[in-house]
Amino acid sequence: MLKVENVSISYGKIAAVKDVSIYVGKNEIVAIVGANGAGKTTLINTIMGFVTPQEGKIFVQDHEITSLPPWKKAAFGLAIVPEGGRIFRDLTVKENLFLGAYRIKDKSKIDNKMNEVFQMFPRMRERYRQIAGTLSGGERQMLAIARALMSFPQILLIDEISMGLMPKLVDEVMEAIHSLKSKDVTVLIAEQNTNEVLNIADRAYVMQNGLIVMSGTATELKNNSKIKESYLGI
Amino acid sequence: MEFWQNSINVLVLGSIYVLIAVGLSMIYGILRVLHIAHAGIYTLGAFLSLSIMEVTGNFWIALILSAIISGFLGALMYRYVYKFVLKEERIVPLIVSVGLFITMQDLYRIIYGPYKYPFSISIPIPYIRAGNFYISPLQMLILIITGIILIGLYFVLNKTRIGVGLKACANDSQMAAAVGVNTKLTIALAFFMGSALAAVAGTLVGVYDNSVYPTMGSTVSYKAFVVVVLGGFGSLKGSVIAGFLLAAAEVFLVAWKGFFLPRDAIGFLVMILFLIFLPNGLFGRKER
C-alpha cells in the first residue's frame, strides 16, 4: 500500500532521516516509535509532501509520489493528522470537516461520512458551529482525526497524537484509531508513547537519530528486552 | 442636513478605501506579505481604463477589462516575483514590494509623462437632490459598484469551494494543501481578486477626481495600510469596517471647524494610536 524506499532528508547540514525504508500493507496499523528528535515527524511530513526528500522514493500502490505537492498526494488517498492537530483555528468545526472533504464532490457521500464521524466523536456534533480555535486540546485532536477521515483516506498518517492529552483521552483516541482497521483505512502512526501505540499496532519500526534501528511485529517488540528498557521503561 | 450630506461623503470615500484595503488584507492574510505594490496596480487600473475607454468609448468594457488585466498582472507578480522571496525573512518581500511599486510608478511616468489626464464619463444615473442634500451620479456609481462587489465577495468567500480554500490557506496553507486545496492556484487567485479590486478602485477615483496621473497611488498605498492596521491584519471584515470608520473620521473631523490638521494626517494619527494601544487592530488576532 505505502512504500518508502531509501529516503534521506536533511535540513542544511543536519541529516534528519537517513536512508529509511519502510512498508505498510493494506489495512495494517504500523507504528514508528522512537525518542523526540529521532526523525519520525520529518518522515511523516515527507510522505505527505510537506518536505521533499533529497534521496529515495515513495510509492502508493505502485504509483511513485515522491515529490508531488500535498494536494496531489491527497488525491492518492493520503491524509494526515499532524503533530498538534493543526486544525483551521479561525474556521468553525463545520468548515474544518467540510475542508476535510474538499476533494469529495458527492454531497450525499459527505453527509454519510459526517454521520459516521459524529458516531465516532459525538463531541464534534455538539461543537458543530463553534470556532475550532475555542475547542479544548482533546477536542482539537478529535477534530483533526475527524477532518482527516472526512477525505475517505486510504492511508492515514498520524503524528504524535497522544501529545498533551490526558491518559484517559489517549486510550479513547487509540481505540478510535484501532477501530479504523475495520473501516478499510491503512494507518502509519508516529508516536513517542510506545506502550500505548504498540497495543494497537500490527507492526512497528524503531527510529533513532534518523535511522531505522529495529523492526518487527508489535508483540515481538513489546517483549524485546532492549525496547522494554529504553522505551517502555520496564 | 449637513450631517446626511457628510454621511454620503463618508460612504463614497469609505467605499474606495474598502475596495483597496480588502485586496491588500486578503493578500496579507495568505502570504503575510505587505503588498505595497498594490497601489501600483491601483494606478495601473486607472490608466488601463482610461486607455481602453479611449479606444472603445465604453466605460463598462474599460472597467471590466482593466480589472481583468490588472488581476492577471497581480497574479503574475506572485508567480514570478514574490514566490521566490517568500522563504526569506519578512523584510525581504517587503523591500521587493516597495521596489516593485517605485518601478511601476516610474514606468507610468516614462510612458504617460508627468501629466494629469482628465477622465470624464457620462453615466445614465440621475442627479438625486432634496433641498441641500444631493448624491451626484458619480457618487451613486461608486456606491453601486462597491455594493455589488462586496456582496459578490461575501458570496465567493463564504459559499464557494474557492472561498473555503482561501480561508483555509490563510489559516494554515500547508494543512490546506494536505486536505487537497491547490494552494498555488488559490494564492494566485487571491492576488487576482485583490488586484482586480484595486484596479476598480483606481478607475473610480480617476473618474471621480476627473484625473489620472502616475503618482496617484502614493497616498493611497499608505492609506490602505492604515485601513488594514485599523481593521486587523488579514481580517476582511475588519478592513471593510475600518475603511468606513477612517472615512467617517476624515470627513467629520475636517468638517468640524476647530480641527487644524490636514485630512491625510488623521489616518496616520489614528494608526499610530492603534499601533501603540491596539496593535492587532479591531478584528485581528495575535500573530503566532
**Domains of chain A from N-terminus onward:** 1-77+154-234 (3.40.50.300), 83-152 (no CATH)
Other CB atoms within a 10 A radius of the CB of residue B262 amount to 8
3-class SS of residue B202: helix
- Could you tell me whether strands A203-208 and A55-60 are parallel, antiparallel, or unpaired per DSSP bridges? unpaired
Please name which of B243, B274, B281 lies closest in space to residue B16, comparing C-alpha atoms: B243
Cβ proximity of B275 and A80 under 8 Å: no
Q: What is the pLDDT of residue B191?
A: 94
B181 interfaces chain A, CB cutoff of 8 Å: yes
pLDDT tens-digit readout, B221-235: 888 888 988 888 778
Residues of B in contact with A147 (CB under 8 A): 179
Other CB atoms within a 10 A radius of the CB of residue B120 amount to 10
Compute the mean pLDDT over every residue in chain A, rounded to the nearest whole number.
89
- Which residues have C-beta within 8 Å of that of residue A228, sequence separation ≥ 6? A222, A234
Cβ proximity of B67 and B201 under 8 Å: no
Radius of gyration of chain B measured on its C-alpha atoms: 19
Average pLDDT of the segment spanning B193-217? 94
Other CB atoms within a 10 A radius of the CB of residue A127 amount to 20
Q: What is the pLDDT of residue B288?
A: 42
> pLDDT at residue B66 above 90?
yes
A66 Cα to chain B: minimum distance (Å):
15
Which of B158, B159, B160, B175 should one mutate to test binding to chain A, selecting the residue with the greatest count of A CBs within 10 A?
A: B175
Task: Give how far Cα B51 sits from Cα of B64, B111, B195, B216, B243, Å.
Answer: 13, 12, 18, 16, 29
Q: Who among A50, A89, A102 is closest to B179 (CB)?
A: A102
- Which residues have C-beta within 8 Å of that of residue A7, sequence separation ≥ 6? A17, A19, A20, A21, A43, A46, A53, A55, A56, A57, A58
Q: 486544525: which residue's cell?
A: A87
> pLDDT at residue A36 above 90?
no
Average pLDDT of the segment spanning B131-144? 88
Question: With an 8 Å Cβ cutoff, are B164 and A99 in contact?
Answer: yes
**φ, ψ of residue B233 in degrees (nearest 5):** -55, 130
Chain A 151-180, residues with CB within 8 Å of chain B CB atoms:
151
Helix (H) or strand (E) holding A29: strand A29-33
Q: What is the pTM of this model?
A: 0.87
> pLDDT at residue A233 above 70?
no
Other CB atoms within a 10 A radius of the CB of residue B124 amount to 5
pLDDT tens-digit readout, A178-196: 988 888 899 999 998 888 8
- Could you tell me whether strands A63-64 and A211-217 are parallel, antiparallel, or unpaired per DSSP bridges? unpaired
Cβ proximity of B215 and B59 under 8 Å: no
DSSP character at residue A8: E
B120 interfaces chain A, CB cutoff of 8 Å: no
B186 interfaces chain A, CB cutoff of 8 Å: no
CA distance linking residue A196 with residue A226, whole number of Å: 17
> pLDDT at residue A88 above 90?
yes
Average pLDDT of the segment spanning B137-143? 92
> pLDDT at residue A75 above 80?
yes
SS3 percent helix, strand, coil of chain B, rounded to 5, is 75, 5, 25
| Extents of the domains making up chain B | 2-218
Residue of chain B whose Cα is closest to the Cα of A46 = B178
CA distance linking residue A182 with residue B257, whole number of Å: 76
Residues of B in contact with A98 (CB under 8 A): 164
B246 interfaces chain A, CB cutoff of 8 Å: no
Chain A 117-146, residues with CB within 8 Å of chain B CB atoms:
none
**φ, ψ of residue A121 in degrees (nearest 5):** -130, 80
Q: How far apart are the first and last CA of chain A?
A: 34
> pLDDT at residue A232 above 80?
no
Residues of B in contact with A82 (CB under 8 A): 175, 178
A83 Cα to chain B: minimum distance (Å):
11
- Of A184-188, A215-219, A228-232, B200-204, the range with the lowest mean pLDDT is A228-232
Residue of chain A whose Cα is closest to the Cα of B234 = A90
Residues of A in contact with B285 (CB under 8 A): 90
pLDDT tens-digit readout, A104-153: 988 999 999 999 889 888 888 999 999 999 998 888 988 999 999 999 99
- Of A111-125, B77-91, B231-245, B252-266, the range with the lowest mean pLDDT is B252-266
Compute the mean pLDDT over every residue in chain B, rounded to the nearest whole number.
89
Q: What is the pLDDT of residue B20?
A: 93
Can you read off the three cell numbers belonging to residue A208?
533513532
Cβ proximity of A67 and B146 under 8 Å: no
Average pLDDT of the segment spanning A40-51? 93
Can you read off the three cell numbers belonging to residue B142?
461608486
Q: What is the pLDDT of residue A165?
A: 82
A91 interfaces chain B, CB cutoff of 8 Å: yes
How many residue pairs bridge chain A and chain B with CB atoms within 8 Å of each other? 66
